[in-house]
């Protein structure tokens, strides 16, 4: 009888975890959306994936800005485009929206056009 009780408890915990992971984000305020204007994730797994992509976007922008600073120390003029930095093409677009980063060669500023990423 004890083995049946343990198996039933494990099965119940597994079902509750699955429901929480895949259906839990819908009942949160704002639908669990992490970015302004972005659709809510379909699950907690989607919520974590979107957060990871946002971290990747911040990291890409940080590396691009570092490359621009390094270029400024060796050359007098900033590059006309981000492609001149020699970075991989996948690093020059936002992983969340797929839109290319906006670069102003006059000021050397790089920003992400994805809603919710303006502060990156």
Taking phi first (over 0 means left), then psi (-120 to 50 degrees means alpha), and beta for anything else, what does residue 69 get?
alpha
Question: Is residue 116 assigned to a domain?
Answer: no
DSSP 52-92: HHHHHHHHHHHHHHHHHHHHHHH-SS--SSGGGGT--GGGG
Q: Is residue 99 part of a domain?
A: yes
Domain assignment present for 75: yes
- The string of pLDDT tens digits covering residues 33-56 is 444 455 555 666 677 777 778 888
**Is 119 part of any domain?**
no
Q: Total structural domains in the chain?
A: 1
Q: Read off φ and ψ for residue 110, nearest 5 degrees.
A: -125, 135
Query: Is residue 103 exposed (0-12), middle (13-18) or buried (19+ Cβ within 10 Å)?
Result: buried
Q: Are strands 102-104 and 109-111 parallel, antiparallel or unpaired?
A: antiparallel
What is the token pair recorded at 62? 């940080």
Q: Is residue 73 part of a domain?
A: yes
Is residue 118 included in any domain, yes or no?
no
Q: 120 in a domain, yes or no?
A: no
> Domain span at residue 33?
2-111
Q: Is residue 65 part of a domain?
A: yes
Q: Model confidence over 55-99: pLDDT tens digits? A: 889 999 999 999 999 988 888 888 889 998 889 998 999 988 889
- Give the number of residues written for the chain: 120
């Amino acid at each position: 009888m004890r083995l049946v009780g343990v198996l039933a408890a494990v099965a119940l915990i597994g079902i509750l975890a699955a429901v929480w992971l895949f259906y839990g984000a819908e009942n949160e305020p704002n639908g669990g959306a992490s970015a302004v204007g972005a659709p809510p994730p379909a699950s907690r797994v989607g919520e974590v994936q979107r957060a990871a992509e946002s971290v990747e976007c911040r990291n890409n922008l940080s590396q691009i800005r570092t490359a621009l600073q390094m270029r400024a120390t060796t050359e007098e003029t900033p590059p006309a485009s981000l492609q001149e930095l020699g970075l991989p093409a996948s690093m020059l677009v936002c992983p969340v929206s797929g839109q290319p980063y906006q670069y102003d060669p006059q000021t050397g500023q790089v920003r992400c056009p994805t809603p919710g990423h303006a502060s990156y």
